Amino acid sequence: MKIIVDGMGGDKGYKEVVAGSVEAIKELDVNILIVGQEAIIKNELSKYEYPKDKIEVLNAEEVITNDEEPAMAIRRKKNSSIVIGLKALSDNLGDGFVSAGSTGALLAGGLFIVKRIKSIERAAIATVYPTVKGISLLVDAGANVDCKPEYLQQFAIMGSIYCEKILGIESPRVGLVNVGTEEGKGNSLVKEAYDLLKKSDLNYIGNIEARDIPNGIADVIVSDGFVGNVVLKLTEGMALSIFTKLKEEIYKSQISKIGALLLKPQLKSFVKLMDYREYGGAPLLGLKKPVVKAHGSSDSLAIKNAIKQVVNFVDKNVINMIEEDINKNTSI
Amino acid sequence: MKIIVDGMGGDKGYKEVVAGSVEAIKELDVNILIVGQEAIIKNELSKYEYPKDKIEVLNAEEVITNDEEPAMAIRRKKNSSIVIGLKALSDNLGDGFVSAGSTGALLAGGLFIVKRIKSIERAAIATVYPTVKGISLLVDAGANVDCKPEYLQQFAIMGSIYCEKILGIESPRVGLVNVGTEEGKGNSLVKEAYDLLKKSDLNYIGNIEARDIPNGIADVIVSDGFVGNVVLKLTEGMALSIFTKLKEEIYKSQISKIGALLLKPQLKSFVKLMDYREYGGAPLLGLKKPVVKAHGSSDSLAIKNAIKQVVNFVDKNVINMIEEDINKNTSI
CA distance B95 to B181: 41
Q: Is the pLDDT assigned to residue B330 strictly greater than 60? A: no
Indicate the length of chain A as a whole number. Answer: 332
Mutation target to probe the B interface, by most B beta carbons within 10 A, among A190, A249, A263, A273 is A263
CA distance B111 to B123: 8
CA distance A167 to A202: 16
The predicted structure's pLDDT at residue B331: 52
Residues with Cβ within 8 Å of residue A91, at least 6 apart in sequence? none
CA distance B147 to B139: 12
Question: What Cα–Cα distance (Å) separates residue B309 from each residue in A35, B17, B263?
Answer: 61, 15, 33
Q: Do A266 and B244 touch (CB under 8 A)?
A: no
A192/chain B closest Cα distance in angstroms: 13
Residue A29 near residue A51 (C-beta atoms within 8 A): no
Tell me the angle at which helices A14-27 and A38-45 cross, rounded to the nearest 10 degrees: 50
Q: Do B238 and A238 touch (CB under 8 A)?
A: yes
Q: Region A295-302: what's the mean pLDDT? A: 90
Please provide residue A135's backbone torsions phi and psi, each rounded to the nearest 5 degrees.
Answer: -135, 150
Q: How far is CA B223 from the centre of its chain?
A: 15
Nearest alpha carbon to residue A225 among A285, A270, A273, A272: A285
| 3-class DSSP assignment, residue B259 | helix
DSSP E strand boundaries for B131-266: 135-139, 173-178, 203-209, 220-222
Residues in chain A within 8 Å Cβ distance of B238: 214, 234-235, 238-239, 242
Residue A302 near residue A276 (C-beta atoms within 8 A): yes
Q: Is the pLDDT assigned to residue A254 strictly greater than 80? A: no
Q: Region A298-318: what's the mean pLDDT? A: 94
The predicted structure's pLDDT at residue A313: 95
Residues in chain A within 8 Å Cβ distance of B296: none
| 3-class DSSP assignment, residue B299 | coil
**pLDDT tier at B277 (50, 70, 90 boundaries)?**
low
**pLDDT tier at A219 (50, 70, 90 boundaries)?**
very high
CB-nearest to A237 from B212, B269, B273 is B212
DSSP class of residue B177? E
Q: Is the pLDDT assigned to residue A14 strictly greater than 80? A: yes
Residue B160 near residue B176 (C-beta atoms within 8 A): no
Question: What Cα–Cα distance (Å) separates residue B103 from each residue in A177, A181, B42, B71, B145?
Answer: 20, 16, 26, 11, 14
Q: Is the pLDDT assigned to residue B107 strictly greater than 70? A: yes
Percent of chain B topping pLDDT 90: 79
The predicted structure's pLDDT at residue A312: 95
DSSP A226-284: HHHHHHHHHHHHHHHHHHHHHHHHHTT-HHHHHHHHHTHHHHHHHHHHT-GGGG--EEE
Q: Region A281-288: what's the mean pLDDT? A: 96
CB-nearest to A241 from B132, B146, B246 is B132
Task: Tell me what the pLDDT averaged over chain B comes to.
Answer: 92
Q: How many CA atoms lie within 13 A of B216 on its CB side?
A: 11
Mutation target to probe the A interface, by most A beta carbons within 10 A, among B66, B227, B241, B249 is B241
B299/chain A closest Cα distance in angstroms: 22
The predicted structure's pLDDT at residue B133: 87
Three-state DSSP string of A19-58: HHHHHHHHHCCCEEEEEECHHHHHHHHCCCCCCHHHEEEE
Q: Do B179 and A263 touch (CB under 8 A)?
A: no
pLDDT digits (tens, 9 = 90+) for A72-104: 999 999 999 999 999 999 999 999 999 999 999
Q: Do B237 and A213 touch (CB under 8 A)?
A: yes
Q: Do B266 and A244 touch (CB under 8 A)?
A: no
Q: Is the pLDDT assigned to residue A330 strictly greater than 70? A: no
Q: How far is CA B183 from the centre of its chain?
A: 30
Indicate the length of chain B as a whole number. Answer: 332
Question: What Cα–Cα distance (Å) separates residue A327 from each residue in A157, A270, A305, A317?
Answer: 11, 41, 31, 16
Q: How many CB atoms lie within 10 A of CB A279?
A: 18
| Residues A259, A263, A267, A270, Cα dihedral to 10° | -140
Nearest alpha carbon to residue A110 among A135, A93, A85: A85
CA distance B8 to A325: 51
Instruction: Give the range among A58-62, B136-140, B273-277 with minimum mean pLDDT.
Output: B273-277
CA distance A158 to A152: 10
Q: CA angle, B183 as apex, B182 and B185 as ends, to 5°?
A: 75
Q: How many CB atoms lie within 10 A of CB B27?
A: 11
Residue B186 near residue B180 (C-beta atoms within 8 A): yes
Is the peptide bond between B299 and the residue preceding it cis, with omega within 30 degrees of 0? Answer: no
Is the peptide bond between B140 and the residue preceding it cis, with omega within 30 degrees of 0? Answer: yes
CA distance B229 to A213: 13
DSSP class of residue A116? B
DSSP A60-111: --B---TTS-HHHHHHH-TTBHHHHHHHHHHTTS-SEEEE-S-HHHHHHHII
Residues in chain A within 8 Å Cβ distance of B224: 187
Q: Is the pLDDT assigned to residue A323 strictly greater than 90? A: yes
Q: For chain B, how are helix, strand and coil distributed in percent, rounded to 5? A: 50, 20, 35
Number of H helices, E strands in chain A: 12, 11
The most distant pair of C-alpha atoms in chain A lies apart, rounded to whole Å, by 64
CB-nearest to B209 from A233, A242, A259 is A233
Backbone Cα Rg of chain B: 21
| pTM attached to this predicted model | 0.92
B241/chain A closest Cα distance in angstroms: 6
Q: Do A259 and B255 touch (CB under 8 A)?
A: no
**pLDDT tier at B276 (50, 70, 90 boundaries)?**
low
> Which chain A residue has the Cα nearest residue B244?
A132
DSSP B58-82: EE--B---TTS-HHHHHHH-TTBHH
User: What phi-psi label fits residue B10: left (phi over 0), alpha (psi between -120 and 50 degrees) or beta?
Assistant: left
Q: Is the pLDDT higher at B331 or at B132? A: B132
The predicted structure's pLDDT at residue B321: 95
Write the single-letter amino acid at A130.
P
Domains and CATH numbers, chain B: 1-117+286-316 (3.40.718.10), 121-278 (3.40.718.10)
CA distance B89 to B110: 10
The predicted structure's pLDDT at residue B328: 80
The predicted structure's pLDDT at residue A273: 64
CA distance A95 to A82: 15
Instruction: Give the range among B70-79, B224-233, B267-276 with minimum mean pLDDT.
Output: B267-276
Q: How many CB atoms lie within 10 A of CB A292?
A: 27
Percent of chain A topping pLDDT 90: 79
Q: What are the strands of the beta sheet with A220-222, ordered from one edge?
A: A55-59, A31-36, A2-6, A96-99, A291-293, A282-285, A124-130, A135-139, A220-222, A173-178, A203-209
| 3-class DSSP assignment, residue B134 | coil
**pLDDT tier at A332 (50, 70, 90 boundaries)?**
very low
Q: Is the pLDDT assigned to residue A327 strictly greater than 90? A: no
pLDDT digits (tens, 9 = 90+) for B171-216: 999 999 999 999 989 999 999 999 999 999 999 999 999 999 999 9
The predicted structure's pLDDT at residue B332: 46
Residue B222 near residue B159 (C-beta atoms within 8 A): yes
DSSP class of residue A124? E
Instruction: Give the range among B19-23, B169-173, B239-243 with minimum mean pLDDT.
Output: B239-243
pLDDT digits (tens, 9 = 90+) for B33-43: 999 999 999 99
Q: Do B146 and A230 touch (CB under 8 A)?
A: no
Return the bridge partners of A282, or none: A293
